[in-house]
Chains A and B, each alone.
Chain A
Amino acid sequence: MARDADFVARFHLAYTYKRSTGPVIGRFLTSLREGRLEGVRTASGEVLVPARAYDPRDGRATTDAWVDVGPEGTITTWTWIDAPAAGAPLDAPFAWALVRLDGADTPMLHAVRGPRAAIATGARVRAVFADHREGGIRDLSCFEVIP
């Protein structure tokens, strides 16, 4: 008889990836480090945030026209996280949300600080930047709902 109840193991699987950003996401992150949100204009005139090298709609390269967006925006959809996992952007319960920044045509995924009752599709939010910024997406700490 197998004593399978005895055979339980804890695993920690981790990879320490370092990624090349490429010039477009690199510029987006450089701006974040400066406390600014920028999008890039596609050949068809839309503003992509986060910036991308190619337009996902038609595959064409995006232009070199950069556009300041935000720092305020609107929640387009969201899900509430009651128990944040290790490594989550916020320790307290928060919402993962798609936020369309003012001036952008696409929403970006980020964390929105609670309270839970303030989170709603259509709610207006504002970017909260980290005090210490290093050129990564976490330079944008989260969004907060504008009362």
Chain B
Amino acid sequence: MSEPVQRVLGPVALDYTVHAGSVTGAFLEALLDKRLVGRRCPSCAKVFLPPRGACPTCAVPMPEAVEVGQRGVVTTFSVIRIPFDGQVLTPPYAAAHIVLDGADTPLLHIVGECDVDTVRMGMRVEAVWADPIEPTLASVRYFRPTGEPDVAWDAFKEHLG
């Protein structure tokens, strides 16, 4: 105890309750039918998945629901190789931005059923559903490679940011 103090634990924690609301509620409702439903902006026509109630670019409500595909493209990814507190999966695993067919925004999810070293930008993937289905995004267990040819950079580069 005579050593000078050099480190302190600084835990932070928040307990809170989330109410899905009508937009995310409709998204979760559709998951129960194994459907992925986003919203289309009436101004810029972009389809947001996960959906939002209003377009963050155009600042207008997005009442139109649009079902998107169960397949999509990995636009960017990160391989998690280190453990951390509260980690659900066992490293190494790949977290990826996936733009589903018909959507314009990335969905953050896991790429599974493949070696993490084979995950790449442009890779085609498809949803693998959990059993049973619950109204959470974890009902998509992960996305797995479809084996289709990779998507060319030019076809998805606008969806990176």
> Is B58 part of the contact surface with A, judged by Cβ < 8 Å?
no
CA distance A10 to B20 in the complex (A): 11
Residue of B nearest to A13 (CB): B14
- Which of A11, A33, A86, A137 sits near B1, CB closer than 8 Å? A33
Contact call A20/B7, Cβ cutoff below 8 A? yes
Contact call B18/A11, Cβ cutoff below 8 A? yes
Residue of B4, B5, B16 with most chain A CB atoms under a 10 A cut-off: B5
The interface stretch among A1-9, A61-69, A93-101, A110-118 is A1-9
CA distance A27 to B6 in the complex (A): 8
Contact with A along B10-36 (1 / 0, CB 8 A): 111111111111101110110000000
- Chain A residue numbers with a CB within 8 Å of B5 are 21, 26-27, 29-30, 33, 135-136
Contact with A along B43-75 (1 / 0, CB 8 A): 000000000000000000000000000000000
Residue of B nearest to A14 (CB): B13
Identify which of residues 16-34 in chain A touch chain B, using a CB-to-CB cut-off of 8 Å: 16-21, 26-27, 29-30, 33
Identify which of residues 98-125 in chain A touch chain B, using a CB-to-CB cut-off of 8 Å: none
- Chain B residue numbers with a CB within 8 Å of A12 are 13-15
Contact call B20/A4, Cβ cutoff below 8 A? yes
Contact call B7/A19, Cβ cutoff below 8 A? yes
Contact call B86/A7, Cβ cutoff below 8 A? no
- Which of A8, A13, A21, A137 sits near B19, CB closer than 8 Å? A8
Taking the nearest CB of chain A, how far is it from the CB of B71, in angstroms? 25
> Is B136 part of the contact surface with A, judged by Cβ < 8 Å?
yes
Contact call B24/A7, Cβ cutoff below 8 A? yes
Contact call B6/A20, Cβ cutoff below 8 A? yes
28 sampled A-B residue pairs with Cβ under 8 A: A2-B25, A2-B29, A4-B22, A4-B24, A6-B135, A7-B20, A8-B18, A8-B19, A8-B20, A10-B16, A10-B17, A11-B18, A12-B13, A13-B15, A13-B16, A14-B12, A15-B11, A15-B85, A16-B9, A18-B8, A18-B10, A19-B10, A26-B6, A27-B4, A33-B1, A86-B15, A136-B5, A136-B9
Which residues of A are in contact with B by a Cβ distance under 8 Å?
A: 2-4, 6-21, 26-27, 29-30, 33, 86-87, 135-137
